[in-house]
Amino acid sequence: MSKLPLERILQGQGFGTRKACRRLIEAGEVAIDGATVRDQHAVFETSGLEFEVFGEQWRYRSHVYLALHKPANFECSRKPSHHPGVLSLLPEQFAWRDVQPVGRLDHDTTGLLLMSDDGAFIHAQSSPKRHLPKVYVATTHDAVTPALVDLLLAGVQMHDEPAPLAALSCRQIAAHQLEIVLEQGKYHQVKRMLAAAGNHCSALCRTAIGGLALAELGLAEGEWCYLDEAQQALLAPSGV
């Protein structure tokens, strides 16, 4: 249990500086249980707290865990250089509370992207020791062949890797598409593996991380959702 003054609650939830939050309260833009609260020092229990700002409903969260269906031509960076950043797809409150992408997808890669303001969660999910399988659907320039699938399963040698890298699983799903499952998380790994195997990746979508599948979240491109505890549990490696 934790009790905090209203201005600190708003600040911690990403509604700006303490001064800006104080102004929101004084202007009558904040309500709790349907009643406007104008006292910035009013103390509330944060557990399960729901409040309104500008008439929009929010629930207090000590940390946020999000899934985003990333569209193409968005950068996984807080300081994008050539394309809009993925944070522009989220409410601005999340930028204030330092929400960050968990790992990266290339600007032209679509699919499931995790985001959070929990540093321990970000570190754990990004660790190369985690061995969490990630599922991708790759569209290839040349037609997929059984030989290509066999080669990706056996392992391909890339010029900057000490040993061949192999897919955990790989299967053809269309004439120019395959589903490939990896756990290493190397830089541009799917694209580089396909290039090393003599093909070219023309489009790439990440469809699952661990047991969390994009299709089951029901998100269209550009949409996001909070992850509940059960969904977060799907992000643990098997046996953990």
- Catalytic residue numbers read 106
CB 186 within 8 A of CB 31: no
Exposure letters 162-178 (e unless 16+ CB within 10 A, then b): eeebbbeebebeeebbb
Q: How far apart are CA 34 and CA 51, in angstroms?
A: 8
CB 207 within 8 A of CB 111: yes
Q: In terms of DSSP H, where are the helices of the chain? A: 6-12, 18-26, 92-96, 119-126, 146-154, 189-196, 214-217, 229-233
